[in-house]
Chains A and B, each alone.
Chain A
Amino acid sequence: MVSIKWKRENSSDHHGRTLVSLTIVSLIALLVVTTLLSVGLGSLYIPILDVLKAIIGVGEDKYELIVMQLRLPRVVAALLVGAAMAISGTILQALIRNPLASPDLMGTTSGATAAVVAAITIMNGEISVGWLPLAALLGGCLASTLTYVLAWKNGSSPLRMAMIGVVVSSAMGALTIYFTLAGPLHMVSQALGWMAGTVYGTSWNHVLYLTPWVVGCAAIAFFQSRNLNVLELGDSIATGVGMKVERKRFLFIALSVILASSAVGIAGGISFVGLMAPHMARKLVGNNNRVILLVSAILGAFFVLLADLVGRTVFVPMDVPAGIFTALLGAPFFIYLLFKQVNRV
């Protein structure tokens, strides 16, 4: 299988370069347009030009308030969360060499969710949003370590990890409900809406807390992507070309967990983005992880943006969490992947 992959990568490097650049450019254009449209759509429609004006600071006052204080922070948060989830999934899939790997299936998302709900209810809601990503990080790390360790038996088999991940996730789900009930009653509804994954009510504050984590980790991942390519070939080859395998692997797992957890810390369990985006990216641009990281981040941002847009415009006056739509789309996609995977074994 390794040799087949090599061939494919070489060939895509030769004649696919312009095509790849073209894909990336058009995806970025699509994302920018959707972002502007998404800021404009809502209970009050704002034309795209006025949105632009408001962002630069020369728009009408009434538009500027809506755009700058209400819609833009939310949209930016959605973009960041989506990109973070997608990069996290890309790293995991390359690292474990398992197309089914994603922060959801490793238990990272559900562990982070449990930790945040615990932090919210135990502190009686008086916790600053700045601490939530940290709580999420702790929970995410614990749960994914648990999955990894429990699935370890003479090495880590991808399929065993998927199964243990399902089980660990359901344990974390039970813990989440336990913590939800442990707190005062008025916190329950906040926790419940948050569990489903939403960027509702995010302010610039949230964005400010999220940005350094996401941008920092994404940058490291991007510049280290060459090592990710080598790791994907397997431990023996990686050692053979002189890489310190364990150290690099630890770095990448840490990056992936931090990205997923900080996204959960702001937006709750937005599921399946980390699974879908990397796959589509790989379909679009081949096997070089540097390009995949970029494209999958764009796609992830696009998914969450779209899911949030649907959630807040279609069911007016209800604001439906974006995570529900990503799950509705992601579950069938997962089944499709599953079949491809099982049929190949």
Chain B
Amino acid sequence: MNSLLSSEKRKALGFIAAVFLLVGATAASILFGLQNFDFVTVIQAYTSYIGSDEQLIIRTSRVPRALTAAVIGSSLAIAGVLLQAMTRNPLASPSILGVNAGAALAIVSMLYWYGAVFSFSQLMWFGFIGAGITAGLIFIIAMIGKGGMTPLKLILTGSALASFASSLNSLFMLISNATLEGALYWLTGSVSNSSMVHTLQMLPYFIAAWIIAWSMSRSLNVMSMGDDVATGLGQRTMWTKVLTIVVVVVLAGGSVALAGPISFVGIMIPHISRWLIGNDHRWLLPYSAVLGGAFLLLADLLSRFLLVAKEVPVGVTTAILGVPFVVLLVRRKALGQY
């Protein structure tokens, strides 16, 4: 595959540029919004805290929000890379395969049955379990029948499961009189109410998943060539696949527990990274992580300005940005086989 940056040196330089983009996006996300701040105010909020309104906004709203957006963007992008490598399907991603919707369903249904009695770490585990069950279901259903797990079967199964899960979600929310805000939150993801505590609680799991993903990059390179080649080269494909799914489940389930189902990050970012640096997962994973974080930060920034005096959930912005991209992708690529 021809990529934009071919030599190792250029890839490294490109990576540094991407990191700068991420840092810039983080700074912009903290500084701009309904109220604009300057750097001095932000630094003072942490060095000489006096409890003024501005410092409060920075410490309790802007910084947690930026951190959460960056972490979730990276996680969803990595999950997308893993799913695309494993299924060898350019359209695979946690939202299209319904994993996000399944995680949301698990959390919403537990909230419905037991009320708001759970701590965040319990919700987090519900998210993991929901994502795990959905992922399992999709792969099992898609493997039945002639031809095995074709890309088309995976995607249509995923979209049917996602609409199944989200209609159950609406059912639970409507019969439990949940607040409207809650309803919108679980239908489209948002990072506007992120709390620092929750994000920090989730961070160790995410970091572990990132490291495992990156350490698997050689196996992923082999796996994306197909099962036959991988087995021929002496890889234990089953073991790699199981590990991949576990990592995806942690990343997607955790993201949903933090911010609700956010779509299209996991599908766009891997493709953009692949276009930049090709198919080598040792580079692809870090690039996707950095670009995914930057993308979600910028999308979140944009969603603060889409409506006057109100905020749009970031999931709406990513969907609006992502759809033209996926349409192009379907027209150019996914249809090779059809």
Residues of A within 8 A of B (CB): 100, 150, 153, 157, 159-160, 162-164, 166-168, 170-171, 173-175, 177-178, 180-182, 188-189, 192-193, 196, 271, 315, 318, 320-321, 323-324, 327-328, 331-332, 334-335, 338-339, 342-343
Cβ contacts A to B, 6 pairs, < 8 Å: A150-B327, A175-B316, A196-B174, A324-B170, A324-B174, A335-B156
- If A171-B320, A342-B153 touch, whether A164 touches B164 (CB-CB below 8 Å) is no
Interface size of B as a range: 35 or more
Indicate if the CB atoms of B187 and A160 lie closer than 8 Å: no
Indicate if the CB atoms of A170 and B263 lie closer than 8 Å: yes
Indicate if the CB atoms of B150 and A338 lie closer than 8 Å: no
B180 proximal to A (CB < 8 A): yes
Among A168, A318, A339, A342, contact of B323 (Cβ-Cβ < 8 Å): A168
Indicate if the CB atoms of A315 and B175 lie closer than 8 Å: yes
Indicate if the CB atoms of B319 and A331 lie closer than 8 Å: no
Closest to B335 in A: A160
Question: CA–CA, A163 to B167, complex, Å?
Answer: 20
B168 proximal to A (CB < 8 A): yes
Among A160, A168, A177, A323, contact of B338 (Cβ-Cβ < 8 Å): A160
Question: CA–CA, A178 to B188, complex, Å?
Answer: 11
Tally inter-chain residue pairs, CB-CB below 8 A.
Answer: 134
In the A-B complex, list the 6 residue pairs whose CB atoms are closest, starting with the nearest.
A174-B319, A331-B164, A327-B167, A171-B323, A343-B146, A318-B175
Report the minimal beta-carbon distance from B105 to chain A, rounded to whole angstroms: 12
Question: CA–CA, A120 to B179, complex, Å?
Answer: 21
B326 proximal to A (CB < 8 A): yes
Closest to B167 in A: A327
B163 proximal to A (CB < 8 A): yes
Question: CA–CA, A8 to B4, complex, Å?
Answer: 55
Report the minimal beta-carbon distance from B145 to chain A, rounded to whole angstroms: 5
Residues of B within 8 A of A (CB): 91, 96, 141, 144-147, 150, 152-153, 155-157, 159-161, 163-164, 167-168, 170-171, 174-175, 177, 180, 183-184, 187-188, 263, 306-307, 310-313, 315-316, 319-320, 323, 326-327, 330-331, 334-335, 338
- A163 neighbours in B (Cβ, 8 Å): 91, 152, 155-156, 330, 334
Among B145, B170, B263, contact of A339 (Cβ-Cβ < 8 Å): B145
Indicate if the CB atoms of B164 and A177 lie closer than 8 Å: no
Among A167, A178, A327, contact of B327 (Cβ-Cβ < 8 Å): A167
Among B153, B171, B315, contact of A320 (Cβ-Cβ < 8 Å): B171
Question: CA–CA, A173 to B167, complex, Å?
Answer: 13
Consensus secondary structure, chain A interface = helix
Indicate if the CB atoms of B152 and A342 lie closer than 8 Å: yes
Indicate if the CB atoms of B144 and A339 lie closer than 8 Å: yes
- A315 neighbours in B (Cβ, 8 Å): 175
- B331 neighbours in A (Cβ, 8 Å): 150, 153, 160, 164
Report the minimal beta-carbon distance from B328 to chain A, rounded to whole angstroms: 9
Among B157, B313, B330, contact of A335 (Cβ-Cβ < 8 Å): B157
Question: CA–CA, A100 to B174, complex, Å?
Answer: 30
- A318 neighbours in B (Cβ, 8 Å): 174-175, 177
Among A167, A338, A342, contact of B330 (Cβ-Cβ < 8 Å): A167
Report the minimal beta-carbon distance from B247 to chain A, rounded to whole angstroms: 25
Question: CA–CA, A315 to B316, complex, Å?
Answer: 31
Indicate if the CB atoms of B323 and A167 lie closer than 8 Å: yes
Indicate if the CB atoms of A177 and B187 lie closer than 8 Å: yes
Report the minimal beta-carbon distance from A335 to chain B, rounded to whole angstroms: 5
- A173 neighbours in B (Cβ, 8 Å): 319
- A332 neighbours in B (Cβ, 8 Å): 160, 164
Indicate if the CB atoms of B160 and A177 lie closer than 8 Å: no
Question: CA–CA, A192 to B310, complex, Å?
Answer: 18
Indicate if the CB atoms of A335 and B160 lie closer than 8 Å: yes
Residue among B145, B171, B331 facing the most chain A CB atoms (10 A cut-off): B171
Indicate if the CB atoms of B170 and A196 lie closer than 8 Å: yes
Question: CA–CA, A115 to B78, complex, Å?
Answer: 35
Question: CA–CA, A328 to B250, complex, Å?
Answer: 27
- A150 neighbours in B (Cβ, 8 Å): 327, 331
Report the minimal beta-carbon distance from A104 to chain B, rounded to whole angstroms: 8
- A160 neighbours in B (Cβ, 8 Å): 330-331, 335, 338
- B311 neighbours in A (Cβ, 8 Å): 181
Indicate if the CB atoms of B180 and A324 lie closer than 8 Å: no
Among B168, B180, B263, contact of A192 (Cβ-Cβ < 8 Å): B180
